[in-house]
Amino acid sequence: MPARNILVIHARKTSLRFALVNEAHSQFILHGMADGLGSRDAELRWQRGGDKDSLMIPNADHRAALSQLLPIVQGAAGGKLHGVGHHVLHGGELFTSACRVDTQVLRRLQALVPLAPQQMPASLVGIDAAMHLLPNLPHVAVFDTAFHQTMPEHVYRLALPDAVYRDHGLRRYAFHGNSHRYASRRAAELAGLSLGDSCWLSAHLGEHCSTCAIVNGQSRDASMNLVMARRSGDIDPHLYTQLHRSLGWSLEKIDQVLRQESGLLGLSELASDMRSLEQARDQGHAGATLAIEVFCYRLARTLAAVGCALPQLDGLIFTGEIGENSPLVRSRTVDHLKLLNLAIDREANARCVRGVAGPIHKRGHPRVLVVPTNEERQIALDTLALLA
């Protein structure tokens, strides 16, 4: 059977990220993004091999952007497209693995919108657009939460009155499951271990961040309670009351500050991206220095916490944009994990940037690996598994 091609789509409110994945090749045939959807500045950008191109698509919505994209995709695929894999943020407790999309699945996805009201509508719009334009292809939903559905009840339950879970289904969920799955599989390959007989701590670090404890290929605990680009991370619940009483902030205002004005941006009062903060730190900016130190310490603390779920530690994985490209963050984080006997080799750490994978630990110490993530490939693999 010839190697098959899968179009992977990640729809957001005003953007559509895509990649054309061939099962036989590690590199994307084509990838890019439609950005600024719904505005006069909407633009479609793509890269095929070393060639980059773009097209202005003023006021285009997701369907219009996809209609402009599909001839480019079909050309790159040689007219042989075998399926579409959709990144879907939240599967709730209904979806524990990827599934073929049909009318019943769409109804269930619609019912999950309240769990992620900012993200799920865009996922549904993307699925609708793709199914309308590619009605004869199989469509598969791959959930960011599904990997974590193996967490035991004592891990995912909130310490709230039982009725909160029983009647309303409120519990802990975790995300970046596709990234943690892919990274742990690659880490096992790099270490010469079996994924089904190894235990990993994984840190996905980007605009949004998470940690995960992985035992024999399954998520056992995970946390989103990290300082992020604009998010505060974990806080004392009493802070909501204090901000309301002391500052007169409404619930909406508090939510806005904690989600959009805190984290790296709030601490530094400068920027939300790690690259800019590292440059400012090198120039002596106190706020940037503090933001990075808080980020790394909270990350280390959370890794140590979710590590309680591991019977042993075969290695620590850094992945995601920051995890793959910031030797500083990796080094400062590991500095706080001496209890686990972790230690970084400075030269190896400096070498693993811009897509370079490999070990960065000192000899004689537990493994620390940099693994570039590839969520699109993981989504494509899950899609292919349902086409067999």
Catalytic residue list: 144
**Distance, CA of 302 to CA of 211 (rounded, Å):** 7
Cα three-residue angle 175-176-181, rounded to 5 degrees: 120
In angstroms, rounded to a whole number, what is the distance separating the alpha carbons of residues 204 and 268?
22
Structural tokens at position 263: 């984290």
β pairing state of 5-11 and 368-370: unpaired
Bridge partners of residue 31, in order along the sequence? 19, 47
375 is in an annotated binding site: yes
Alpha carbon 243 to its chain centroid, in Å, reads: 30
Strand order, beta sheet including 218-223: 218-223, 209-215, 199-205, 315-319, 368-370, 358-359
Enclosing H/E stretch for 328: helix 327-335
Residue 224 annotated as lining a ligand binding site: no
DSSP β-bridge partners for residue 52: 47
Q: What angle do CA 289, 359, 311 make, to 5 degrees?
A: 90
Q: How far apart are CA 322 and CA 329, in angstroms?
A: 8
Consult the annotation and say whether 273 binds a ligand.
Answer: yes
Residue 40 assigned as binding residue? no
Strand 83-88 to strand 43-48: parallel, antiparallel, or no bridges (unpaired)? Answer: unpaired
Q: Which residues sit in the known binding site for ATP?
A: 273-275
Q: Which residues sit in the known binding site for Mg(2+)?
A: 375
Q: Which residues sit in the known binding site?
A: 273-275, 375
